[in-house]
């Protein structure tokens, strides 16, 4: 029965495709030349990803992946400010408060989409121009190519709202050089422009104003291979001189980041930061002290375990964590303090790292039986 439903969805999707360039739609799906193009179209919400958008992108991505006439997939955002500033956190918060099943469906849909991008057989090019955070990272980082610009602002700020850097963060963050991924995950540090490339998150760097030309050239490629696409991206990348001479923003701190963030527990990281006592270490300590202690512990373990897992295993683990966070209290309190009341003073429960027990953390990672994420 599922097969017929899926087939119907594909047919409906094809029919919808013809009129999906309606500029009011939250996501535009169109085929131009040999390219399937996904445009996130909620500029007022900084292209934040919601469930209806996920439910449109996923089947279309799968259709294009199977289509012999589609040679690459491009994803971008509208409005000039953001590629995608994250998931629609407010909707999830409202749903969680009333026990609505959106808190399951959103994460299931989002992580399945992340997996579809990570396993996509067609070259996938994400134009990460502007703000790229949380859910936006999940839409880009698992694909073959990520093109950053001088306007790119990358961050995984989840520990500040009682969540953890999900969307496969447990897979890609620990694989960045040294302990940079741990640092980004725990502190929510923001990387800008060419630094997104230097950190290993983007694969190419191109001026923002050159993106339309790049897109046109990508669409014009005749039945390109992954190598042809890489060559074109490389040619644009080489011509771009913006901030070329600048050193990586974290260069001077890398030694400290690698030693301070290599501890086995959050308490140990905090202890190391205090012992180090340098202005850099003190600044990190100040930042970490603002984060949800529960989130910090979940995140550190998520990355340590994710370092040796497949993307699928990571997404399953993260789904368990997402559901634990939905049942807890820090997520709702974090969203209240940061996004709703904006008083920036969340009351975390428990308020200290020492009070988050290992037993509690273990429970968050336990399999959910029939409710586990199916990929």
- Residues 6 or more apart whose Cβ sits within 8 Å of residue 104: 323, 371
Q: Is 356 left (phi over 0), alpha (psi -120 to 50) or beta?
A: beta
Give the angle 300-283-186 at the CA atoms, nearest 5°.
15
Q: Measured between alpha carbons, how far apart are the two ends of the chain, in Å?
A: 18
With H, G, I as helix, E, B as strand and everything else as coil, classify residue 50. coil
* Distance between CA atoms of residues 253 and 347, nearest Å: 31
SS3 367: coil
374 torsion bin: left (phi>0), alpha (psi -120 to 50), beta (else) = beta
Told to judge if 96 belongs to the known catalytic residues of this protein, a careful annotator would answer: no
* Whether the Cβ atoms of residue 146 and residue 128 lie closer than 8 Å to each other: yes
Burial 322-345 (b: 16+ CB within 10 A, else e): bbbbbebebbbbbbbbbeeeeeee
- Closest by CA to 294, choosing from 208, 212, 357, is 357
**166 included as an active-site residue:** yes
> Measured at the alpha carbon of residue 135, what is the angle toward residues 42 and 251, in degrees to the nearest 5?
115
Active-site choice (88, 110, 129, 158): 158
Q: Which residues contact 272 (CB under 8 A, 6 or more apart)?
A: 259, 260, 263, 281
Catalytic residue among 110, 166, 215, 330: 166
Task: Compute the distance between CA of residue 37 and CA of residue 74 in angstroms, rounded to an integer.
Answer: 5
Give yes or no: 209 in active site: no
What strands lie across the sheet with 124-128, from one edge to the other? 27-32, 35-40, 72-77, 124-128, 145-148, 204-205
Could you tell me where the DSSP H helices lie in 261-346?
266-276, 279-290, 293-306, 311-327, 330-335
**Residue 134 catalytic?**
no
Catalytic residue chosen out of the listed positions 34, 96, 130, 135 = 135
Identify the sign of the CA torsion 48, 49, 53, 57: positive
Identified catalytic residue from 33, 87, 181, 334: 87
Q: Could you list the active site residues?
A: 87, 135, 158, 166
């Amino acid at each position: 029965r599922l097969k017929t439903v899926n087939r119907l969805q594909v047919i409906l999707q094809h029919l919808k495709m013809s009129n999906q360039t309606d500029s009011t739609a939250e996501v535009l799906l169109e085929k131009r030349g040999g390219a399937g193009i996904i445009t996130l179209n909620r500029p007022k919400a900084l292209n934040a990803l919601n469930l209806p958008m996920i439910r449109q992108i996923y089947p279309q991505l799968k259709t294009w992946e199977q289509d012999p006439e589609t040679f690459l997939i491009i994803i971008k955002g509208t409005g000039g400010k953001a590629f995608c500033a994250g998931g629609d956190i407010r909707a999830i918060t409202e749903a969680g408060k009333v026990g609505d099943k959106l808190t399951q469906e959103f994460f299931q849909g989002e992580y399945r989409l992340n997996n579809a991008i990570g396993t996509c057989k067609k070259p996938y090019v994400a134009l990460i121009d502007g703000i790229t955070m949380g859910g936006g990272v999940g839409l880009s980082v698992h694909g073959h190519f990520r093109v950053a610009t001088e306007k790119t602002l990358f961050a995984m700020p989840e520990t500040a709202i009682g969540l953890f850097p999900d969307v496969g963060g447990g897979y890609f963050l620990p694989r960045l050089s040294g302990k940079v991924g741990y640092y980004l995950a725990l502190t929510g540090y923001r990387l800008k422009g060419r630094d997104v490339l230097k950190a290993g998150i983007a694969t190419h760097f191109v001026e923002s104003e050159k993106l339309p030309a790049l897109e046109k050239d990508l669409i014009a490629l005749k039945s390109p291979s992954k190598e042809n696409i890489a060559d074109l991206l490389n040619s644009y990348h080489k011509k771009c001189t913006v901030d070329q001479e600048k050193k990586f923003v974290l260069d001077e701190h890398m030694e400290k980041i690698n030693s301070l963030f290599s501890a086995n527990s959050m308490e140990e990281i905090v202890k190391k930061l205090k012992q180090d006592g340098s202005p850099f270490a003190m600044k990190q300590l100040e930042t970490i002290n603002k984060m949800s202690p529960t989130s910090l512990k979940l995140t550190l373990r998520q990355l340590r375990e994710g370092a040796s897992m497949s993307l699928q295993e990571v997404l399953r683990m993260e789904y368990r964590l997402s559901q634990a966070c939905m049942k807890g209290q820090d997520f709702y309190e974090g969203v209240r303090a940061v996004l709703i009341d904006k008083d920036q003073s969340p009351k975390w429960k428990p308020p200290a790292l020492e009070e988050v027990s290992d037993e509690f953390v273990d429970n968050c990672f336990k399999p959910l039986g029939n409710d586990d994420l199916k990929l």
